[in-house]
Structure 1
Amino acid sequence: MQKIGILGFGVVGKSTLNFLKKIQSPLEQFDPKNIKISVFDQKDLTSSEIAEIESFGAEYFTSKDVSLFLQSNGYIIASPGVDLSAYNKFANKFICELDLFAQVFNKKTVAITGTLGKTTVTNMIYKITSSFTDFAVNLGGNIGSGMLNLALKNNDVDLAILELSSFQLEPNTKFAPDLALFTNFYPNHLDRHLTTKNYFDAKWKIFEHQSSDQVSIIPLSLFNLYEDLPSKLATLKSQICFISSNPISDEDKERIKKFGKMVFFAEKENLYFGSFKAENFVSFKIADLNNLPSSGFLENWVLILTTFYLLAGNCNFLNDEKWTEKLISTKFNPSVDAYRLEHFANFKGIDFYDDSKSTVIQATKAALDKLINNKRPVILILGGLDKGVDRSPFFKDLQNIPQENLKSIFCLGKDPQKFGGYKTFPTLQDLVDEIMKIAKSGDQVLFSPGGTSFDFFKNYKHRGDLFKEVVREYACKGESVKS
């Protein structure tokens, strides 16, 4: 009997335990019918979590028993959130959930990664494929079901849509999605990956195992974001499909001709498909973009529509002016706008926006630019942990924005030096109290931290919910708030 360990007992660990107890067919590494399972987490688990482990017939190792856990198991399935660099001595024992998923799930998969926008893109691809095709679609990865729970539904699903982080992709040695999307790239998670190259290489693993009948969807803008992209593209075996939110330039055409097979691009409120016929670049219109929602970023929409077109062969749903009203809604499918530049209140003529999902400065900059375009003053709230990324150039650039555009900057944190010297507040309540002393009708208050939420909060949703709660409670003390 082989001993199999589960390292980490969050969403992934729990879905792994369920998977190992229910899977019937042999896996490459072991036969699930002949294993003994144990679970270890770096933190002490609750009594209910321990009871859950024991109800599956598995053994629980306390946080003090890490050495015994690592030594006694033949294979260990690690959660993505666990930094395995501390366990290099046991590297040959580790298996990642993506590799197990790849062994079991044999239906079509679409996988999305990137620094910004991947949740929005994943969610909308899921919504439109569920609403406007006959596919039985399931959502997994960072959102929706744990991937191994999804793998157990192999017979009931036609298509899996997966959002994947660098942590999930980094140990991948097998997983090869039919369609793989890369939204964009900016330095992030350097506290874990240490260098920008390591972070990019982890993301790039979404493409590395694809074959010639699978498609890699890559923005042309990535050439400007990562200088070694040409050498990376040269190693891919897949069909490379570029996308762009802009008309195709001569430089773009050279890149498409050298590396790619096709391109989808937006021009004059239309979506086009382009490719080379011999030496000539030819294109034709696929869809009218006039019926897209006004919120959101065009490059994200081009990614979404390209994916849908490659799956369904058309984008005919856009012909219906009311297509957004026909999108399905599920428990896995919160509003695309939730926590991402979400306008949630107007109090005394002041608009409040929750952009708590902004965990990198590029997301904050995009949100700030969007509100500045409204031609009304913005009060910006920053915060969060920097994840090893130098945010000082961004803080310095903020000083160059005219005050009629950026009225004031407040920071949620304890150390002003970590926020370019801007005034910091230890709690959201203190921060909102101070903002309301200077905010006037017509102002826009933007909560877009530009850092991860784990300084004071469970996650970005918890952070955003508390901000909204504080604002609404403040409003209740005065006149009613319009949500």
Structure 2
Amino acid sequence: MDFQDKNVLIIGSGRTGTGIAKVLKKLGANVLVNDGGEESKLEIYLKQLRELGIEYVIGHHPSYLLDNKPDFIIKNPGIPLDTPFLQECISRNIPVFTDIEFVNSINSAPVIAITGTNGKTSTTSFVGHMFKEAGRKTAVGGNIGFSLAEQVYQKDLELIVAEVSSFQLECTKRFRPKISLITNFSPDHLDRHKTYDEYINQKKKIFLNQTFEDFAILNHEDSVCKKIAKECKAQVYWFDTKNKVEQGVYVKEGNIFWCKDNIDEVICSSNILKVPGNHNLQNIASGIIIGKIMGLTNNQIVEAVLSFVGVEHRLEYVDTIQGVKYYNDSKATNTDSTLKALDSFEKKVIVLLGGYDKGEDFAKLASYVMTKAKKAIVFGATGDKIRKSLDDAKYTSYHQAKTFEEAVKLSKELSRENDIILLSPACASWDEFDNFEERGKAFKELIYK
């Protein structure tokens, strides 16, 4: 696509919007950035825009921005399509899409796109790590890391590994990755998508434009993945940690196997993983499929498995203080992710639960806490809701704190030597923090106070 002299309106600054604005400016477009946030909180990005002479309007979304009818609009994935301003854009027939559609239009390297409810960040990080260790020129980004648009524009790349969310997929029309991967499904972001079916519909857009020349990797243990596989036109590979698959990767008797054309070969022992839990075994297994499809040797794959130590805020071991181990799983922003975290420990833990309510039912979480948690501390906007679910489950070993800081302090007071304190909130962070990273960093600071 030729962007020379095109009028482009970017809704939402931040890392993603600012990165796209920079690239569009270099491509000769007329760029205007609009953000409804507070100017003081956006200064780090606004300074970059000023340095390039990019105009911006901050604090509100005035309709006059549409008077000259932009050629298209690129919106921040976090902004819902049903906001009045975006609805007005749509009513005026102005095309609206997100960052990955833009990146798709300026990129020529093969794209590996990874989505799913849980595990997509860890899987994306492992896949990126695997190719970089193998010496491939690889950009890693999308829903994590640095601006993907800037990386794609600046580098002569062999591969792009992108984590993509349902919010990003929502506005895609031509997005077609060479390899798509769906880690799993469980109800999430129902405050945005309204129904589980609609959430699934957005996620499966990751493979809807693929053809038989492409590859789709799906979770053989996930019932939704099995159901939607029939809609996929790409070559389908499966991963499973419990049962054999006809094509893909599976785990049997402590070994990870690759299977294709009825030939099975051992890649490595599952015991060499540095990251704990069956969910991480699934992440690594799915990533190995990508490595095999893209021609990596078994030695290159094994070296990557051995050297991958996980991702910050994803079941991250922080420290042992006075005999108490602290784990930061702030990325656990839904119940399913917290269930997987609880499953990763052999002994009962003290778990911190709470945050912003995305519309989830906490009944299943409460039943898990019954058997997996020595104590539970609930906090934040969902504190009352989680407490009620624990009451309904007849679980009494819980305490409630008003704020996140109070919850961390209380967990320390209640702990004893050899205990494990696990931050795995099962909720978004937006009641007290801008994002889960900020919450995780706060946890890692508060445990020392």
TM-score interval for Structure 1 and Structure 2 normalised by the shorter chain: 0.7 to 0.9
Match runs of 1:78-477 below 5 Å: 78-86=75-83, 87-91=86-90, 92-93=93-94, 94-132=96-134, 134-153=135-154, 156-223=156-223, 226=224, 229-230=226-227, 232-248=228-244, 262-275=247-260, 282-289=262-269, 290-293=271-274, 295-296=276-277, 297-317=280-300, 324-325=306-307, 336-371=310-345, 373=346, 375=347, 377-395=348-366, 397-398=367-368, 400-401=370-371, 406-413=373-380, 416-421=383-388, 423-473=399-449
Return the offset for 1:110: 0.9
Of 446-455 and 134-143, the range deviating more from structure 2: 134-143
Structure 1 unmatched runs, 5+: 24-32, 257-261, 277-281, 328-334, 474-483
Residue 107 to residue 460, structure 1, CA distance change in 2 (3 Å)? same
What is the distance in 1 between the residues matched to 2:257 and 2:369?
Answer: 40
Shift of 1:115: 0.8
Q: Which residue of 2 aligns with 1:28?
A: none
Equivalent residues of 2:130, 2:301 under 8 A apart = no
C-alpha spacing 1:22/1:242, structure 2 compared with 1 (3 Å): same
Equivalent position SS for 2:231: coil
Name the counterpart of 1:481: none
Say whether the 8 Å CA contact 1:415–1:424 is kept in structure 2: no
- After superposition, give the CA deviation of every residue in 1:417-462 in whole Å (9 maximum; x if it has no partner): 2222453212344323333343222221111101001111121121
TM-superposed deviation, 1:48: 6.0
Alpha-carbon offset, residue 291 of structure 1: 3.0
Question: Is the contact between residue 428 and residue 470 of structure 1 (CA under 8 Å) also seen in structure 2?
Answer: no
- Amino acid in structure 2 at the alignment position of 1:438: L
SS at match of 1:80: coil
2:231 counterpart letter in structure 1: T
Name the CA distance, whole Å, in 1 between partners of 2:382 and 2:358: 16
Amino acid at match of 2:263: S
| Paired residues, number | 425
Range that drifts further, 291-300 or 118-127: 291-300
CA–CA separation in structure 2 for the residues paired with 1:36 and 1:153: 20
RMSD over aligned Cα, in angstroms?
2.4
Cα offset, 1:312, TM superposition: 2.1
Shift of 1:36: 2.8
Cα offsets for 1:366-392 (capped at 9, x unmatched)? 111222x1x3x4211101123122223
Distance in 1 (CA, whole Å) between partners of 2:302 and 2:401 is 49
Give 1:119 shift. Answer: 0.9
Aligned to 2:395: none
Q: Which of 1 and 2 has greater Rg? A: 1
- Structure 1 residue runs of 4 or more that deviate by more than 6 Å after TM superposition: none
SS of 1:4's partner is strand
Give TM-score, length-normalised by structure 1. Answer: 0.82
Amino acid at match of 1:301: I
Question: Match of 1:61, SS?
Answer: strand
Aligned partner of 2:30 in structure 1 is 36
Q: Is the 8 A contact 1:44 1:63 kept in 2?
A: yes
Q: 1:411 to 1:243 in 2, by over 3 A?
A: same
Q: Which moved more, 1:58-67 or 1:108-117?
A: 58-67
Distance 1:131 1:398 in 2: 38
Deviations, residues 311-337 of structure 1 (Å, cap 9, x unaligned): 1243223666x9735x7xxxxxxx624
Query: Does the CA contact (< 8 Å) of 1:242 and 1:264 recur in 2?
Result: yes
Deviation of residue 121 (structure 1)?
0.7
CA contact (8 A) 1:219 1:244 kept: yes
Q: How far did 1:168 drift?
A: 0.8
**1:194: how far off?**
0.9
**In the alignment, which of 55, 63, 68 is matched to residue 67 of structure 1?**
63
The alpha carbon displacement at 1:186 in A equals: 0.8
Identity across the alignment (%): 27
In structure 2, the CA distance between the partners of 1:294 and 1:88, relative to structure 1 (3 Å rule), is closer
CA distance change for structure 1 residues 390 and 267 in 2, over 3 Å: closer, same or farther? same
Q: 1:440/1:237 Cα in 2 relative to 1: closer, same or farther (>3 Å)?
A: same
Query: Structure 2 vs 1, CA of residues 9 and 399 (structure 1 numbering), >3 Å: closer, same or farther?
Result: closer
